[in-house]
A and B are shown apart, each in its own frame.
Chain A
Amino acid sequence: MERRRHSIFLACSAGVLVLLYLLSSTNLILHEKKAEIYPISVIVEDSSDEDYEKLRKGMDQAAEALHVDLNFITLYEPNDQKQQIQLISREISDGAQAVIFSPAAPAEAALSLDEMVLNSPLIVLGNLFPHSQVLCGISIDYMEAGRLLGEAAGKLSEEYPIYLITQGLDYGYAREMNDGIRKALGHRERQVALYPLNSEDDCRKLIESTVYPHSQQVILIALDEKSLEEAARVLEESSVYGEQVMGLFGIGGTNRILNYLDKGIIRGLVVHNWFDEGYLSVEKAVEAIQEGGGLREQITLEACYITKEDLRDPAYEKMLYPID
């Protein structure tokens, strides 16, 4: 009798152990409720993510707060609009519940997206597109940014012609910037010329042309970040060019650009809060996923014109050098 009781006790204990194992180590009985993680892809217009530090800080902070698994995707070649569109399709079919993208060529992107059926919402780091699945656009007003630069350059002597340099009016929002600058300078009689930088050496050649064959003092305004960096790099290399270029203005906020502003190579810069832009884009993407659509909206961020002196201003310091 005692032996039987002992056997039953052992069998029961084994049964309990099996039950405990099933409960703790498998999901056969109890299905563990996992916190929902939203896979969101970010597609930018460059081939490296190095210059998106501030934007990414905002995105990463939002990702942590809102349970987002963020894939930050760069292109094989900078400004390849076709690849951006292919990547949007790929990411959605790979399970991205929303895509945030910074269009390389907005007009071309809008046309391509019109022909596409999108199963996930899109957030644009730029102006809102007509497509119904593009639920939010976040950007500064580029016309206004152009106006700010035009006004600043317009304060310099009218003797100097203004050269507008760009990678092309179709890339980014250079066209709007160009319009804004011309509008600001419209009432003044001064020479404004547009110079698209088609090859790597075009910027150097343009600046060299102010020295030889004819010496000509000019003002340069870059309509995009890449052109601004290129011009600043050329000016840094030779003090001769600095005497010909009476002012370099532009838009952008990479640390290299801010260093050029600090060194006095760039005279004035339009900046905005990239951290907020990043945070908002992820927040809006999560809202779009949770609500399954919603109202389409355009969020306009403030564009600020700064000079070297503003770099030490605590208000701008926080914006330009966000901490982790």
Chain B
Amino acid sequence: MKRIWKVLSAALILGLLAAGMGIWKQQKEQQGQEKTAIRLGILLYRGDDTFISNVRQALEEQAKAYEQETGIKVVLTIEDAKESQNAQDSQAERLISLGYDALCVNIVDRSTASGMISDAMSAGVPVVFFNREPVEEDLNLWEKLYYVGADAKESAVLQGNIVAEDYQEDPLSIDLNGDGKVNYVLLEGETSHQDSLIRTEWSIQTLMEAGVPLEKLTGGIGNWERSQASALMEQWLEQFPGQIELVISNNDDMALGAIDAMERLGILDKINIVGIDGTPQGVQALERGKLLGTVQSDRTEYAHAIVHIAAALALGEDPAAAVELEEGTYYWTHQKALTR
């Protein structure tokens, strides 16, 4: 009986040793291979959003620049969710199953990131969110989650200052009819986007603190879209003929939509329009004198941060060594006000 006991114990020890050796060998093999190529999946909430389309272009440029600098091949796969969270979840699942090294996600619905995060965590695939920030509890679920964006409060304060400075210099340049109040309309982005609320709140607050006598005529949700904003503006121009003096827009595309509406209705009166983002189209409108100002976040810096954080994570390195992170998770791009 003692012999059987000994044989069983020996078998048990041998079994455990074999299993341990097998796992150790697999891990050693993986560690021994230095990566010469990385694969990054870029998931966009909507590819035809002007700002996102510009960031996409910058991401492609930055990935190529990284490849040339480091000699590490970067394969980018860019997917457009067309505003469907289900589609984006499937895209993420597919890229994770294909063994992508990191995902860069411009999430459709910022309140439902936990499902994607959980899939990524299980597969050990780090995620860099950008432009649309998941709720804080979700970002805290794992240490390999990051966020790159432009500080919405800063954008709004800069936007407010563009108008405030002009008003302080020459009140009649903003209070166009000189009645002592500035009648404005407000074009807001999606209600579910964190930046819409903050941009609106701080832009108005900055103007009020600077002593600009604001009077709101109306406002509406343009969902960041030029066409929706254009339709709203057309309606307001008819509703408040000759009364609108200022258009405060949460982004450049909606500001351009307001200009489209004015041109369509043949309105030649001056109306000051301010946007945010500094897209090439917005800057062009500024140069042509159609926009009073915009706030530009450096899209090259934006894309540089996303690519470098993702590449560092894909290579198993610390992203904090590549870019300066706030609270170990956030990267905020620099912004500047652009005026005529």
Interface of A toward B, CB cutoff 8 Å = 4, 7-8, 11-12, 14-15, 18-19, 21-22, 26, 28, 37, 47-50, 53, 64, 69-74, 76, 90, 94, 255, 324
Contact B78–A8 (Cβ < 8 Å): no
* B268, CB-defined interface residue at 8 Å: no
Nearest chain B CB to A74's CB is how many angstroms away? 7
Nearest chain A CB to B243's CB is how many angstroms away? 30
- B1-33 with Cβ < 8 A to chain A: 1, 4-5, 8-9, 11-12, 15-16, 18-19, 22-23
Contact B68–A18 (Cβ < 8 Å): no
Main secondary structure, interface of B, reads helix
A19-B15, A50-B56 known; A72 vs B77 contact (CB < 8 Å): yes
Contact B5–A7 (Cβ < 8 Å): yes
Contact of A28 among B5, B22, B53 (CB under 8 A): B22
- A14 CA / B15 CA spacing, docked (Å): 10
Contact of A8 among B5, B22, B23 (CB under 8 A): B5
Contact A11–B15 (Cβ < 8 Å): no
Contact B19–A18 (Cβ < 8 Å): yes
Q: How many A-B residue pairs have CB under 8 A?
A: 62
- A76 CA / B60 CA spacing, docked (Å): 9
CB-CB nearest in chain A for B75: A71
Nearest chain A CB to B84's CB is how many angstroms away? 9
Render B284-327 as a binary contact track against A, CB cut-off 8 A, 1 for contact. 00000000000000000000000000000000000000000000
Contact B19–A21 (Cβ < 8 Å): yes
Residues of B within 8 A of A90 (CB): 73
- A37 CA / B75 CA spacing, docked (Å): 17
4 nearest A-B residue pairs (beta carbon): A11-B8, A18-B15, A28-B22, A71-B75
- A302 CA / B214 CA spacing, docked (Å): 61
CB-CB nearest in chain B for A11: B8
What are 29 residue pairs bridging A and B, where the CB atoms are less than 8 Å apart in the complex? A4-B1, A4-B5, A11-B5, A11-B12, A15-B11, A15-B12, A15-B15, A18-B19, A22-B15, A26-B22, A26-B23, A28-B18, A28-B19, A28-B22, A37-B98, A47-B64, A48-B60, A49-B78, A50-B53, A50-B56, A50-B57, A53-B47, A64-B94, A71-B77, A72-B77, A73-B75, A255-B48, A324-B82, A324-B87
Given A18-B12, A48-B60, A53-B47; 4 other pairs, CB 8 A cutoff: A4-B1, A26-B23, A53-B80, A90-B73
Render B57-69 as a binary contact track against A, CB cut-off 8 A, 1 for contact. 1001000100010
Nearest chain B CB to A31's CB is how many angstroms away? 12
Contact B22–A14 (Cβ < 8 Å): no
* B267, CB-defined interface residue at 8 Å: no
Residues of B within 8 A of A76 (CB): 64, 68
- A222 CA / B9 CA spacing, docked (Å): 81
* B172, CB-defined interface residue at 8 Å: no
Contact of B8 among A8, A28, A73, A74 (CB under 8 A): A8
Residues of A within 8 A of B57 (CB): 48, 50
CB-CB nearest in chain B for A74: B60
Contact A26–B98 (Cβ < 8 Å): no
* B265, CB-defined interface residue at 8 Å: no
* B135, CB-defined interface residue at 8 Å: no
